[in-house]
Amino acid sequence: QVQLQESGPGLVKPSETLSLTCAVSGYSISSGYYWGWIRQPPGKGLEWIGSIYHSGSTYYNPSLKSRVTISVDTSKNQFSLKLSSVTAADTAVYYCARDANGSGSYYPLWGQGTLVTVSS
Amino acid sequence: SYVLTQPPSVSVAPGKTARITCGGNNIGSKSVHWYQQKPGQAPVLVIYYDSDRPSGIPERFSGSNSGNTATLTISRVEAGDEADYYCQVWDSSSDHPVVFGGGTKLTVL
């Protein structure tokens, strides 16, 4: 059974870089699928951040593109999110997810999410 | 980028039918997916490709998509269906291919 687990600091200072990792168990990340990050500010809706194909190709939400990097570490079977120059508006629950069929079209498998607060 | 519009809230009595809409320009030409999210939990896929149900999702959940509106229908609504529901599309021609609607809070009266 495939499982995803986010990890990283729960508190990040303004202007610094948010770094999260999604550990994947039960499936080899290098074998296929798109792996994505989605966030949800407190009390608000879902926002797609970006996705990475198992081969390493990426695509990002244009509104965040200048600050986002998503990468894959096949040796550790995990993928990561870096979001630079954070502000309070980046405070959110961050989810990692896997798509259904390698097309990137929808995401049936999610991690439990991790809350990241941006504050000094 | 593509915009999806959902009503902020829908209310329904137990046992009745709830319909949650998702509006978008010519959305009928795209595939729509629906997620259910209960408080403190990650979203759960309830409908994919307009009307397909993942295993484990009750038959009471159904979907349709035509013209400028996609609809998630929940029949014989139960108290446990109370949640936020999000539609999502994949726009392969866009530089913003994964788009979520703003979400609809379903309240069971």
Q: Which of residues 48-77 of B touch A (CB under 8 A)?
A: 48, 54
A49 → chain B, closest CA residue: B98
Predicted confidence band of residue B97 (pLDDT cuts 50, 70, 90): confident
Distance, CA of B49 to CA of B33 (rounded, Å): 6
Predicted confidence band of residue A102 (pLDDT cuts 50, 70, 90): confident
Q: What is the pLDDT of residues B26-61, one digit of tens each?
A: 999 999 999 999 999 999 999 999 999 999 999 999
Looking at chain A, the whole-number percentage of residues with pLDDT higher than 70 is: 100
The predicted pLDDT at position B1 comes to: 82
- Which residues of A fall within a CB distance of 8 Å from B97? 59, 104
- Which residues of A fall within a CB distance of 8 Å from B103? 45-46
Mean pLDDT of the region A18-27:
97
Question: Which tokens go with B9?
Answer: 């809230």
Looking at chain B, the whole-number percentage of residues with pLDDT higher than 90 is: 91
B85 touches chain A (CB under 8 A): no
Res A58 pLDDT > 80: yes
Contact B42 A107 (CB under 8 A): no
User: For residues A93 and A81, is the Cβ–Cβ distance under 8 A?
Assistant: no
Question: Which tokens go with B50?
Answer: 């307009």
The predicted pLDDT at position A26 comes to: 95
* DSSP structure string for A22-71: EEEESS-GGGS-EEEEEEE-TTS--EEEEEEETTS-EEE-TTTGGGEEEE
Contact B88 A106 (CB under 8 A): yes
Looking at chain A, the whole-number percentage of residues with pLDDT higher than 90 is: 88
The predicted pLDDT at position A32 comes to: 87
Res B95 pLDDT > 90: no
Mean pLDDT of the region B54-81:
97
- Measure A102 CA to nearest chain B CA, in Å: 13
The predicted pLDDT at position A104 comes to: 81
